[in-house]
Each structure stands twice: as structure tokens, then as C-alpha cells.
Chains A and B, each alone.
Chain A
Amino acid sequence: MAEELKRRKAVPFFNRMFWGKNKDTINPFWVIVNKEIADHIRSWRFVVLITIIALTCFGSMYTAITSIGEALKSGKADDVFIFLKVFTVSDGTLPSYFIFISFLGPLLGIGLGFDVINSEQNRGTLTRVLAQPIPRDYLINAKFLAALIVISVLFLVLSLLVIGAGLIAIGIPPTPEEFIRIFLFTIAAIIYVAFWLNLSIVFSIRFQQPATSALSGIASWLFFTIFYSMIVNVVFNIFIPEGKKLSIAGEQLKLAIQRVAPNQLFSDITTSFLSPSVRSLGPLTMQQMQGAIPGHLPVDQSFTLVWSQIVGLVALSTLCFIVSYVLFMKKEIK
């Protein structure tokens, strides 16, 4: 026991995390992470997904750069943040970069997560791996982490590539504030995709057939992106007499209900991070608007504006992970 403590002290925490009892062996957790990342990168599925995302990013950047001159003529307060326009501007033929990310990100998350557990089970590798002396949660944690690492690296690289390409195209470097805003947007995108990843892992544990689990993931994605706000609108319209408008409280309630959807949360976050002139995400009365000087918010204020949305998104993501964790730990291994 004393020897064990001595050894633990001798090996710094970081090394202990990565290495096993001695330097020659890697902690099994990282062995699994390692293998999962390799599997993702080598799989055809990943190649397909990355091609779609890279192509759309290229397309939206192209339209952004060609129409950026037009956008600059308007002379609004946002003109200070020319570089952010690369991410937000569109000429109408193709959606802008951030809309593409919010649209295709979930697909990436679902694509990486929908078969993590059930494919192992169907191949008969699950029992073999779990018969090794590793705690059962290593497997689910490692699989989640591996997919998250892949997504994070991908998004960071994409953001940096867009920055680089934008730099060459418009010739104006981003200000530090712009850089921080882009970085925050990237982090938010990773959290958003992590939510979909977790949700699809839940499905992969619950459903034995990968096809069922993929379909469930895509169905929930379509539900939230297309039908959810539609349903909320329909329900509210039923209660409002024709020709009248919702009260402020009513509008706020409607927005609150819509913010249950993760894509609404993400779109609030991106709006706030990428459009510094946005100062409120809810309805404003005329009194509140009166005397306001058009200008932009500093980064920390934009951050504060969407803080609850960020917390909400992280919470949703964590909730899904907890569900998948519990499901997996209680699963009868056959």
C-alpha cells in the first residue's frame, strides 16, 4: 500500500492518466480511445461526412466572399466586424457558413454515434472486450470521448481553414475580438454536435439494429429542426383570436418553449457570438428601444446574453450522456 502511494506520487497525474502501472503500458481507457479514433478516421462513413461538410463550407465561403463587398456598403454598426461576415453573409444562393454548421453538425454527430454500441454487440466483440479486466464504463466513456475528439479537431480545423481562406480573399486580418468570437462559436458548435452524438449513443444502446438507431437519430433531428417550431406556432395560433397579436409575455413564453429545442439554443448562441450588434434575443418593447444608440456588444456581454442558452445546451448534452451511461451499465450483456 505504501509502495503504491509512493509510486503514485512519483508519477505525475497526467502520466498516470495515460500510462498504466509502468511506462510500457498505456491505460486501457486510452487504448480504447486510440482505437476508436483510428476506426472513425479510417471509416468510409467519416470520409463521406467530411466531404459533405468540407464542400458546403467551401461553397458558403465562396458566396460569402463574393458578396461581402455588397454587404459592406450598407454602412451598419456591424461593419467594424468585417471578418465575421465571412461566417454570416450570404448572397441568397447558398446559406452562410454558420447555418450550414447548424444544419450539418447534427448529421455528423448522429453519423459518428448511431452504431457505437449495437455494432459491437452485433459483431460479437462486446462480450469479448467486456471479458477483459476493464471497468464497463471505460468502454462507453472512451467511445464518447473518441468521437468528441474527432469532432473537435474537425471543427477547429474547419474554422481555422475558413479564417485562413478569408484572410487571403479579403486581405483584412481578424481583430483579436473577432478571433475570440469565432473561437467561441466553434466551441458552441462542438457542444451542439456533442448533444447529437450523445443522443445517437442513447439510441445505439437502446436499439439493436443500427438502421433503427440511425433512423431514430435522424427523425429527432428533423423533428427539432423542422416540425418543433411549426407545432409551437400552430398551438399558439389556436389560442390567439384572429387579427390580434401576442402580448409580450405571450411572445416570451413562446420563445421559452421553442428554446427547449437544441437547435434553437444553438442558433441563439451563434447569433449572439457572430453578430455583435444583436443585443437581445427576445422581444423588445418600444420603451426599451427608445434612446438606444446603435452599436455592438463587447464579447463578454454577448457571452452573458447567451449564457443560459449555453448552460441549457450543455445540460441537454449531459442529460443524454447520463441516460446512455445508465442504460449501458444496466444492460444485460449477451
Chain B
Amino acid sequence: MDRNIIKIHELYKKYGSQTVVENLCLNIKEGEVFGLLGPNGAGKSTTIRMILGFSEPSSGSITVGGYSSTSQALKVKELVGYLPEEVGFYNNLTGYENLMYTARLNRIPVQEAEERVNNLLQKVNLTDEATKKAGAYSRGMKQRLGLADVLVKNPRVIILDEPTLGLDPKGMKELLGLISDLSKNEGLTVLFSSHHLHQVQHICDRVGLFVDGKLIACDDIQSLSDGLFTKSAIVIEAKINTPASSTLKNNKYSAIIDKIGKIKDVTDIKINDGLFTIECSIDVTADVAKAIVENNYDLTYLNKKEYGLDDIYHKYFEGGE
């Protein structure tokens, strides 16, 4: 059994002379949560639309569960639930009716559909609002209803395009919690795009970084971080004051620079008005602190920075520009 449920091979999409997606090769394993990460206009949504067969690739192939997105789009749509970036519902129908409509479009028998819709509404916490018109829903409620709508057909893969856009922190947390639960408890494969780094960091098994139509990195967050910052994985920031009694006037930090520089594994030291930025390959915070104190300097601030997705993102995009 092939573990890769989505296989994208040498995918290109061109609009006229503009290349929106360039030589994309990507495999997504069954049951994983995959985050497509990149700035606006990087080609994330275009890729997602091609996976669903909404637009034709210029060249290359996409298969979902063994079906081609171009020639067997109907089969793909049976497997894939898709939540568009700007999800919309029929405002004159209630949330329940909207879901029932989707269920009937998927040829689900009425009784089974009613049962499933009620279950899903409960799961996304909308049971009380089920009889309200969808037009009266808030953005967060719409997004949760959208998630329920995606799940009505019992998909194997769900694809979410910027699912957290425009949600408040509480709504965002709820939605991401739901997505994470679904993947863990029901073995669903989740692919979602975002330019919001922190969310991706928390719930994604793997992320792919998209810049200008190119996938420039694709791995889990730890490996991405390791790959980028091999020499200096950890940065220590220390604010040092020279004691008032100090006799050193010029180059007052030279002694401490010398001391810290001698610590093993320190790769670089930068100083900006008493704020030391020390890059090192392993954690030497304790040694740095000791050196400062032993040399009679005042340590007013000490902070150990580990690289998160933010830094990875910035580092990559700086490199990409």
C-alpha cells in the first residue's frame, strides 16, 4: 500500500508569461498534517485549485489516492473535502440546511445524512445555532460550519485554504484544535495553506515553504531549523553593564569579549551598546553567565533564543529575495 495519498510531480502552472507554480514535486503521506507556508501570491492557492481539478496544470501530474486530478476530477472530489479561502453559505438557508444540501449533492441517503450532519454540528459546537440562517453567522461560526461541511462527505483528505484568516485568537484556537483532533482521532490527511506561522508550527507534522511558485524547503520544523542554522542553532542575548568602579574607559568590553570568545562552541559575538548577541552551536548560557559574573560585570538581562518558524521563514524569504 502506497503511503503517499497526494502525489505531485513536476507541476508547472503558467498564466501567459508568468509562472505561478514552478517544478513542484511534493508527496503527502496518509494521515499527516501538512502546512503549505508562504507569503501571499506565492502559488499556494493555485496549487490547491489544481489538486482539486479546478484549473488545469500547464504540465506535470497530480494524483490523489491514485486518481488523476485532471482526468478523474470527480473521483478526486469524492475523496477530498475542500474549504475555500472565502467560504460562503446560502444565507437564506439555515446552517443545518446548508450541510444537508452538501450531503445530498454527495448522494448520501437522507436518514444517514441527517444523522451525520447532526453529529458534525455537535462536533464543531454549532448545535444551538443549527436552526439559524447562515447569513446571521459570525466569521468564526462560518468557518466552523465550513469545516463541518467539508466533513459531510466523509473525506480521506481535507484541504483548507487559509482556514484561520480573519479569525480572532479564540476562534483560531478552536478551529486548529478541531483540525488537529480530526487528524489524530480519525486518521484524516490534512493539507492547509497559511501565511500565519505560529499556527502551522503547532499543529503541522511537516511544512512546505513556498516562495514565488517554488517549493524551497519541505520537512518537519525541527529538520528545517537544523538545516538552516547548522553553525549557530542557539542565540544568547545578554545585556551587560560595566560596574561603576571600573577603571576601564576605552574599550570597556574587551576583557569580557575575550573571555566569552574563549568558551567552546561560541561561533560569533556581536555587540550593540552593551547588548551581546552570542551565537553558539550548543547551549552555553550557563558558561556565559558565569564568565560575566566572574569578571565583575553586571548582568542585567539574559535570554536564550531558539529558532522558531518565524526565523526560518524570514531567513528563507530573505534568501529568496
Contact = CB atoms under 8 A, between A and B. Distances in A.
A6 B153 CA distance: 27
A31 B109 contact: no
A327 B106 CA distance: 25
Contacts of B279: none
B104 interface: yes
B108 interface: yes
B109 A32 contact: no
B222 to A, nearest CB: 33
Contact of A130 (B54, B81, B110): B54
Interface string A109-144: 000000000000001110111111111000000000
Contact of A31 (B82, B87, B105, B111): B105
B107 A123 contact: no
Interface residues of B, number: 33
Interface stretch (B21-29, B89-97, B120-128, B196-204): B89-97
Contacts of B162: none
A21 interface: yes
Interface residues of A, number: 28
B106 A133 contact: yes
Given A39-B92, A127-B84, A333-B55, A133 B109 contact: no
B74 interface: yes
A103 to B, nearest CB: 30
Contacts of A21: 107
B149 A128 contact: yes
A26 interface: yes
Given A39-B92, A333-B54, A333-B55, A132 B87 contact: no
B77 A132 contact: yes
A25 interface: yes
A28 interface: yes
B78 interface: yes
Nearest to A123: B88
A76 interface: no
A45 interface: no
A133 B110 contact: no
Interface in B59-115: 74-75, 77-78, 80-82, 84, 86-92, 101-102, 104-112
Contact of B107 (A25, A125, A131, A333): A25
A283 interface: no
A132 B74 CA distance: 8
Contacts of A332: 54-55
A42 B92 contact: yes
Interface core residue of B88, B105, B108 (most chain A CB under 10 Å): B105
A24 B115 CA distance: 14
B111 A125 contact: no
B91 A25 contact: no
Contacts of B101: 31, 35
Interface string A18-34: 00111011111001100
Contacts of B132: none
B108 A25 contact: yes
Contact of A124 (B77, B82, B84, B92): B84
A132 B110 contact: no
Interface of A: 20-22, 24-28, 31-32, 35, 39, 42, 123-125, 127-135, 332-334
